[in-house]
Amino acid sequence: MRRFALMTALLVMVAASALTWTNVEATGVTAEAVGSANLRSLPTVEGELIGEIRNGTRYPVIGRSEFFPWVLLGRLDGLGAMGWVFQELVTIRGDLNVVPFSEQEVIPGQINEPPPSDDAPPSDDGDGEPTATLLPDVVVTSGNTPTPESIGEQATPTAEPTQIPGIVGTALGSINVRYGPGVGFQPLYRASTGEMFEVIGYHTQFPWVQVRFEDSPNGAAWISIDLLDIQGNLFSTQPISTTNFNDLPTLTPTPAMRASFNPVTGAEVPISDEFAALGDSLWDYIMSRNFLLGTERFGALFIGDLQTGEAISYGSEYAFSGTSINKIAILMAYFGVLDGAPTPAQARDIANTMICSENVATNRLLELVGGGDDLRGAEETTRFLRELGLRNTFITAPYHTTTERATSTPMPRPAEIPRTEANQETANPNPTNQLTVDEMGWLLTNIYECAYNEGGPLLEDISADSIFSFTPQDCRKMLYIMSENTVDGMMKAGMPDDMVVSHKHGWLFETHTNAGIFFTPNRDLVMVMALHQPGFLIFGEDSLPTFAHTSMRAYNYYNPETALDEPREGFIPPVDQCNYGVNDPIVQNLASSNFLSRNEPGLSFSPDLSPDLALTPTLRPTWTPAPDEIGAADSDD
C-alpha cells in the first residue's frame, strides 16, 4: 500500500506535465534502435504492443516520461506520435533534457497528435477521420516483448570483437554481468560494447544466459539474453531451470570508503565506537539494497551528530549531480548578499525555489547573487563555497527551466567546467552542477551552527572583504524555509510525521538525492544521501524505501523509546499544487525583519509575526507551520 501511494503521487506529477508539441527541428533529439525495439501505447511494459522499430532509422523524440526511462517517438512524416520505446533499447542523439515531459497514450490506427496548447496553430483536418499508416520499417508484432528482468543497460555497438571458442555472446553495449539471472542480483562486472563471453547455459524460465566468468566465486555469471548477440546454438548449452539461488557462495563485500574528518580543515574528527557502529549499520543496510561501491549501482551517505560533532561518510570520494540539492548553496549565497530581510517578491522566490524546486525562481536568486547575471550568480555561488573551503561541490551555470538539471545554454559565455579531486566519472555527474555527500553535510552543519550556536564558519571564517556576510537570523530563516518542504517522502518518511525536518530533495533519471537536518527528540542529526543507477533509478521499488529505512534506523538509534517499526507511507505532492505568492504566510514570515530575530528558549511563534521561533533549552526548533501554506496562485512565475 505504501509503494502504491508513493507511485500514484509520482504518476500524478507526471500527468501534471503536459506535452508541448516539439519536432525534431526544434529539439534536435532523435532515437535509433540498437537492434530492434518494441513500440507501446504507454511508457510501461503493460502498455499495448503497437509495433517495432529496427536499426537504421532515426526517429524524432517528441516526449519523455518524467519518472520512467521511456521516450515518445514521432512519425517521420510529422503527423503525430508513433509510440513509446524503452530508452535503453535505443541510441539517443541530442540533449534529452530539452524534450518535454509527456504521459500521452498512443492509439493504434490514428494520427496521434499531441494535446492542443494555447499557442498551437488552428487545426484544419476536414471532416474525415484520418488513419496512420505504419512506416515501412515499423513492423507490427506480437512477440519479442522485453520482460522486467530483461531490461538492462544497452548502447550502440562500437568495439572490435575478439575471438573465443564455443557458443559466444557479444555485448551489445555497456552491460552488467550479474551473480544471478535477474537485475536483483549483484553486478560482478561492467562489460564494454563488443566484449565477448563464452555462453555455458541458459535459463528455461528467465531470459538470461549463464557465461563463464573466472572472477565469480563459482566461476559463472549471468547476462540478460537481450543484451548479447549470441553466435551458435544456445540450446546446445546446459539448460538451467532452478529458481532458488540462495545457495550461491557468499560474495566478499566491497569495503566501505569511510571518512571521519572535516573536509574544510582536513582535521580528524574523533568518533566513538558507538557512532561508528551506527554509521556502519546504516551503510550495511544501503549495501543490502544492492547499492554497492565498486559497481555501477551505488550510493553515498553522510551522517553527523550535531550535539557531539561526530560525523562519518561513505562514498564521499564520488561526485554526484547536484540536482536541486545544490539550491541549498544558492540559498546561502543569496542570504549572504542580501542587506536585511528579503522583500516580499524575493521571499516568494525563496519559497518557490526551496519548497517547489522551481527553476525560474532559482535563476532569479542567481541573478541577484550575480548582480543581474544568473551565470555570474552561479559562479559567485561556487566562489562562496570555495571561501568555506569546499572544493568538490559547485554550480557554474543557471538551472534549465524545464528540468532539475543545471544547463550551460543559453548563456552569454561558456560555463566553467571545474575539475575536482572527486571521482567525476562513475556517477555521470552534471558537468556544471556537482556535490559530494560529505561537503553537503558540512554545509548544512555550518547553517545549523550559525543558526543555533551563533558561531561557526559562516560567522567567523568569511573574510571581511567578501561580498557574503551572514547573521544568525539569516541562518534560522534558511532552516525554517527548508522545514516547510512539502515532500514527505525520501528520508523524511523515516521520521515521525510531527517532527521538524529541514531538508531539500532532488532527482534526475539516474541519480536521487536528499539532504537535511533532523530535529529528533533526543538528538539533532544531519544526513545526506545519494543513490545512483545508470539509465534509470526506480522510485517506488528502489530509492524511496532505501532513503526512508536508512533515516528510520538513525532515528531509532537515538530515540529507542519512540522507535518506529516501519517508515511512514510518505507523500510527494503534485507539482501543480506548489506555487507561492507574496501573500502566503510563509512568504510573509521570510520577509519580516522580526521573524526569528532572537535565539532564546521559551519564545513562541504566532501569526502576527511579533514573537519569534520557539527554541527548547537544547536549541531545537519547535515552530508550527503557518496555515494554508500551499495557497495563492499570484506568483509572477
pLDDT at 249: 76
What residues does 302 pair with on adjacent strands? 313, 528
Average pLDDT over residues 19-28: 45
pLDDT at 259: 60
pLDDT at 583: 94
125: pLDDT strictly greater than 50: no
265 sits in the region (left: phi over 0; alpha: psi -120 to 50; else beta) called alpha
Look over the chain and give the mean of its residue pLDDT values, rounded to a whole number.
78
Q: How many CB atoms lie within 10 A of CB 290?
A: 18
Average pLDDT over residues 393-411: 70
Q: What is the pLDDT of residues 245-292, one digit of tens each?
A: 777 776 655 445 556 656 556 567 788 889 999 999 999 899 888 888
145: pLDDT strictly greater than 60: no
The enclosing H or E element of 161 equals none
Q: What is the pLDDT of residues 308-355, one digit of tens each?
A: 889 999 999 999 999 999 999 999 999 999 999 999 999 999 999 999
- Domains of the chain (ranges; CATH) run 2-114+134-146 (2.30.30.40), 150-240 (2.30.30.40), 277-591 (3.40.710.10)
CA distance 540 to 103: 18
Q: What confidence category does residue 406 fall into, taking pLDDT thresholds of 50, 70 and 90?
A: low
Q: What confidence category does residue 59 fall into, taking pLDDT thresholds of 50, 70 and 90?
A: confident
CA distance 433 to 363: 14
Q: What is the pLDDT of residues 148-200, one digit of tens each?
A: 333 333 333 333 444 466 899 999 877 888 888 887 777 788 787 888 999 99
CA distance 250 to 567: 29
Q: What is the pLDDT of residues 416-452, one digit of tens each?
A: 889 999 999 999 999 999 999 999 999 999 999 999 9
Would you call 328 helix, strand, or coil by DSSP?
A: helix
Q: What is the pLDDT of residues 512-561, one digit of tens each?
A: 999 999 999 999 999 999 999 998 898 888 899 999 999 999 999 999 99
Q: What confidence category does residue 629 fall into, taking pLDDT thresholds of 50, 70 and 90?
A: very low
Lowest mean pLDDT: which of 23-37, 112-126, 524-538? 112-126
Q: Is the separation of the CB atoms in 497 and 562 below 8 Å?
A: no
Q: How buried is 413 (Cβ within 10 angstroms: 0-12 exposed, 13-18 middle, 19+ buried)? A: exposed
118: pLDDT strictly greater than 80: no
569 compared with 555, residue with greater pLDDT: 555
Q: How many CB atoms lie within 10 A of CB 552?
A: 22
Measured at the alpha carbon of residue 581, what is the angle toward residues 576 and 584, in degrees to the nearest 5?
105
34: pLDDT strictly greater than 80: no
356: pLDDT strictly greater than 60: yes
pLDDT at 173: 79
67: pLDDT strictly greater than 90: no
CA distances from 63 to 368, 383, 385, 386, 441 (A): 33, 37, 36, 39, 36
pLDDT at 448: 94
- Residue closest to 620 by CA, chosen among 522, 551, 526, 552: 522
CA distance 301 to 526: 11
